Structure 1
Amino acid sequence: MSIVVINALKVPVVAGSELEARFAARKHSVDGSPGFEGFQLLRPVAGDERYFVYTQWATREDFENWRAKRTPHDPSGQAPVASGMDLLEFEVVDLG
């Protein structure tokens, strides 16, 4: 059963374009990871300043394996754009 992991990043409005540029520069960095099924960066349009980083994985184990191996900081050495984050996890429901 696939899982979806959403990282909710609190990003000041003035820093949104910088966040988008950083993700664009690394958009294929997870592609070869076992069990990785997809990625989207969701931009806020009304009522919230959080960006959502949406990833889908074949299994929870695939996500945990990737998470254990990843480098949590921007390789460019730049300061973080987000001022806070929440991690949300969901199972994809098979509706038959």
Structure 2
Amino acid sequence: MFIAMNRFQVLRGSEADFEAVWLSRETHLENVPGFLAFSLLRGPERDDHTLYASHSQWASRAAFEAWTKSEAFRLAHRGAGENKPLYAGHPQFEGFEVLQEVAAAR
């Protein structure tokens, strides 16, 4: 499994606008091969920003990389540059190969 995360430093006072953009957009992820799950996370508040992260799980790094080259990716990110005043800097990408996963008993 592969986990892809983007960290966003959202300017204080812009949190509601940032959340509205993300929560109202079409992700185009549901039918992408290898896609497993997506979460939008709100983190700690700092003096000048609030930390957010997008967290997606993929069957493999190859599945994630194929998505980044797909039409679904282009559609999901269409108009993303229009929201730059919400951020302190560029989003920071972090990718992780999953070495161990422990799940609750079902």
Aligned residues: percent identity?
26
5+ long unaligned stretches in structure 1: none
Aligned residue type for 2:64: F
State the Cα deviation string for residues 16-69 of structure 1 (Å, max 9, x = none).
Answer: 111111111125421211111111111123446221000000011111111112
Larger helix percent:
2
Q: With structure 2 as the length reference, what TM-score do the two structures score?
A: 0.73
Q: Residue 95 and residue 34 in structure 1: after superposition, are their counterparts in 2 closer, same or farther (change >3 A)?
A: closer
For the residues of structure 1 that align with 2:83 and 2:94, how far apart are their CA atoms? Answer: 24
After TM superposition, list the pairs within 5 Å mapping 1:9-24 onto structure 2.
9-24=8-23
Q: Residue 36 and residue 26 in structure 1: after superposition, are their counterparts in 2 closer, same or farther (change >3 A)?
A: same
5+ long unaligned stretches in structure 2: none
Equivalent residues, number: 94
Q: Which has the larger radius of gyration?
A: 2
Aligned residue type for 1:54: H
Q: With structure 1 as the length reference, what TM-score do the two structures score?
A: 0.80
Aligned match of 2:28: 29
The answer to whether the 8 Å contact 2:36/2:58 transfers is yes
